[in-house]
Structure 1
């Protein structure tokens, strides 16, 4: 799999793919639909276009008033997920289909959650969390993440750290957002009683709830 780096993906978004946003691994778009029938017709058109192009059917989530589409490729050797030139081609095609169906993109609403745990032994923890969350203990971490093949649950990312005694907060969530949506979400969380812990890196901001439990708001900005 010839994955494309974040800088090139962000350039493509700025130049021609304004409906889309890059999250942790995938490229994601959300479209407003008037009703479920219209959403289903659009989803079917996306599936037909992909099949005609001999591309794997994208992940399409149809909900009240919206359709979410997620694009990524899986490396057959490692299982690693990333965005390829083929995924960008599909994004262009889906953007054209959305215009034909008269749909409006709301890229600021795209979201992805990753479950994150600090560990010095991801190879030891991986089978447990794979078995618990995906039902397959052989579904061991890909590089540093356990993925459910059909995305029923969020990926579990093992953040490698030095061994350390417990107790210490070891679990947190990474909330991936469109770059333009992150500042408002951070402001809302702070106004609701949160604390800013660290905003020195443009790619993520660390927040804490009123009891000190931390979470990260992440974007694709500043990533390789």
Structure 2
């Protein structure tokens, strides 16, 4: 196996979190994310410029969101046959954190999250086709039950196959992916705000909550063993 092939080897969230030097980062539903509090737009632009000059970029440049208060960086490989993290992202994450430290920009791991919309469907392919056309999304690599924004800006949609009608429960819910070390605090806040815990059988990777009127949401924390939210 060549060095380039080794760097493209897929990795799981747990492997990412267990790698030294990546304390700034958290794996969510859509890759590994870090948030750097720059405090100003010019400083954020300076950080983005420094990231653009990193030797570890290669063909795998990160997704970067620049705002006046800070910069969010996401690492994810998007190809025809894979959607996720690779060995390449380990070194790239280290280098991004290093340039942020050199600029005196602190990371705030608690500030990252991603959101996914999950639709329960009986006629899966027909339902997926509608949402694909409506949103202008495309299929996720090797996953006909997932749709993603080609620009990687909008929330992904996941379609969960139903075996029979379920008229007494909502058919659409939101999955909120938060850092693994923030999940319990986020759940406690939601319960204190009037929510209810419906199911914690898959904790600490997934909890099912409901608002005061019964609308459901899942809280997911990647990096643990066991099933991931939105994935059977």
TM-score by length of 1: 0.89
**1 CA distance for matches of 2:157 and 2:190?**
23
Gaps of 5+ in 2: 1-7, 228-232
The answer to whether the Cα contact below 8 Å between 1:126 and 1:140 also exists between their aligned partners in 2 is no
Q: Equivalent residue for 1:91?
A: 93
> 1:113 deviation in Å?
0.1
Gaps of 5+ in 1: none
> 1:56 deviation in Å?
3.2
**1 CA distance for matches of 2:175 and 2:201?**
16
Q: Equivalent residue for 1:64?
A: 68
Instruction: Map 1:11-26 to 2 at 5 A.
Output: 11-12=18-19, 15-26=20-31
Q: Does 1:3 align with 2:22?
A: no
Q: Find runs of 4+ consecutive structure 1 residues off by over 4 angstroms.
A: none
Show CA shifts across 1:200-222 (max 9, x none): 21211111100011100100123
> 1:141 deviation in Å?
5.0
Q: Equivalent residue for 2:4?
A: none
TM-score by length of 2: 0.86
Count residues in correspondence.
216
Instruction: Map 1:45-56 to 2 at 5 A.
Output: 45-49=50-54, 53-56=57-60
Structure with greater helix percent? 1
The answer to whether the Cα contact below 8 Å between 2:202 and 2:226 also exists between their aligned partners in 1 is no
Show CA shifts across 1:51-86 (max 9, x none): x7423331111113111000000233x3x3100011
> 1:167 deviation in Å?
5.6
